[in-house]
Structure 1
Amino acid sequence: MLELQHVDAGYDATRVLHDVSLHGAPQGIAAVLGHNGAGKTTMLRTAIGLIRPTGGTVLFDGEDVTALPPSARVARGMAYVPQGQQSFEQLTTRENLQVVADRRRGARRAALVDQALGRFPALTEVIDRKAGLLSGGQRQQLAIARALITEPKLLILDEPTEGIQPSVVAEIEHTILSLSADEGLSVLLAVQHIDFALHAAQRYTVLAAGRVTSAGAGGAGAQDAVRQAMAI
């Protein structure tokens, strides 16, 4: 589904990613692990097109999308949920979902909002509350729900459970697993903590200082290799 081939990328003259390659699972979950500053967010921003690589190639569904802007990648089936539970704070939960649905064509717009709420039932309890008044966990659920309204083939999540209460973390993790297992959605997940990532992921990649230090199949058998690569 998503493939990065020998990618170099960064910000202005600062190079963050060095010869990074990644192979996402065609259907399933791929996890990118690493400590703060490892380059995980830069990798995801490069994948979605917010950063133009200075070297290497980004492929999506076998197509070279390296030169395409984010809007073109979204049109091809990518969706990106950045770190930080982003939303339109002055709009209600319903309005946040509707503003994305209104960009979709046809009669499915109302159904897409209903489907998003079905995946995160807790949002129905705050449907008319402004997003700026929601808890961090509710805002993160809203951010993921908004991304799902675009009906992506690939959902890219940057630290989706960071700073969120454990009960909501469990709900988000369950939704990620069900989207992949039941609906065939591909997920690229960037996290620091390895337990859920390796439990859920078919493939993993570990970054340190912008370089790949370990990669392979996920699962419990990968824990030793990942812990060694992350020096934990």
Structure 2
Amino acid sequence: MLQFDEVHVGYGRSVVLHGVSVMVPEDGVAAVLGHNGAGKSTLLRCAVGLLRPRRGRVLLDGDDITRLAPHQRVARGMAYVPQGQQCFPHLTTAENLQLVADGRRDGKQATAEALDLFPALRDLMSRRAGLLSGGQRQQLAIARALITRPRLLLLDEPTEGIQPSVVAEIEQTILAVASRGGMSVLLVEQHVGFALTAAQRYYVLEAGRLTSSGEGGAGAETKVRQALTV
């Protein structure tokens, strides 16, 4: 569904990604793994249009979207959950969700479905998002993205810095969403076991270069861990 074709991406004079090619399968999950600074977040920012490749192409459903603006990519069905449990801290949980649901014909139903995936948020609807725990804010961020009913969900380290009990809940939700079809997921993650359980394809980045790739699943874990220790 999404394809990076030999993309080179950078900031200013610095090149961060060096000829990276990644493919996200239709109705499937691709996981991108690597240490901090490997270029994983840069790849997602390139996907959503916040950064443009200096060379190479980004394709969506076979169409070249390299020069499309972020709002044009969102209109084509992308949703992006950046790193850091981002929300509007002075608004309540309900207001954060309503901002996305407003103007959508099915906003009320989509919100209810998102809350079914994260039922803990139902008891927090009147609480300001800035007072939620990191795990609760991450659930809220993912729920907001799901209200848009994306065809492609971009997740940047959704389990980073979150208490283990909530990590398990977020992992189960991502697996459930990915398995029901109708949506592809590009997952940047450092938890190797979870990433490979969720993904049909994996890619390992090191210093902006692709060092390993293959089919996901538990059998790939040894190979990925070896690539990450090189």
TM-score normalised to structure 2 length: 0.98
Structure 1, 220-229 or 84-93: larger mean CA deviation? 220-229
Structure 2 gaps of 5+ residues are none
**Residue in 1 that maps onto 2:48:** 48
Mapped to 1, the partners of 2:153 and 2:103 lie a distance apart of 18
**Equivalent in the alignment of 2:186:** 188
Spell out, residue by residue over 1:53-102, the C-alpha distance to the aligned partner (whole angstroms, 9 max, x if none): 10000001111100001100010011000000000001000000000111
Return the alpha-carbon distance in structure 2 between the equivalents of residues 35 and 103 of structure 1: 40
**For residue 148 of structure 2, what is the aligned residue in structure 1?**
150
Correspondence for 1:64: 64
Which residue in 2 is equivalent to 1:26?
Answer: 26
Q: Does 1:73 align with 2:68?
A: no
Q: Does residue 174 of the first structure (1) align with residue 172 of the second (2)? A: yes
Rounded Cα–Cα distance in structure 2 between residues aligned with 1:114 and 1:181:
19
- How many Å apart are 1:183 and its aligned residue? 3.7
Unaligned runs of 5+ in 1: none
Aligned to 2:135: 137
Report the Cα distance in structure 2 between the residues aligned to 1:81 and 1:74, rounded to whole angstroms: 12
Following superposition, the deviation at residue 50 of structure 1 comes to 0.5
Partner of 2:98: 98
What is the number of residues matched between the two proteins? Answer: 230
Distance 2:155 2:65 in 1: 19
Partner residue in 1 for 2:206: 208
Between the two proteins, what is the percent identity of the paired residues?
64
- The code of the aligned residue for 1:174 comes to Q
Aligned counterpart, 1:36: 36
Helix, strand or coil: the match of 1:53?
Answer: coil
Specify which of 116, 119, 128 is matched with residue 118 of structure 1: 116
* Distance in 2 of aligned mates of 1:162 and 1:109: 29
TM-score (norm 1): 0.97
Distance (Å, rounded) in 2 between the aligned partners of 1:151 and 1:200: 19
Pairwise CA distance, 1:103: 3.6
After TM superposition, the runs of 4+ consecutive aligned structure 1 residues lying more than 3 A away are none
Q: Distance in 1 between matches of 2:9 and 2:85?
A: 25
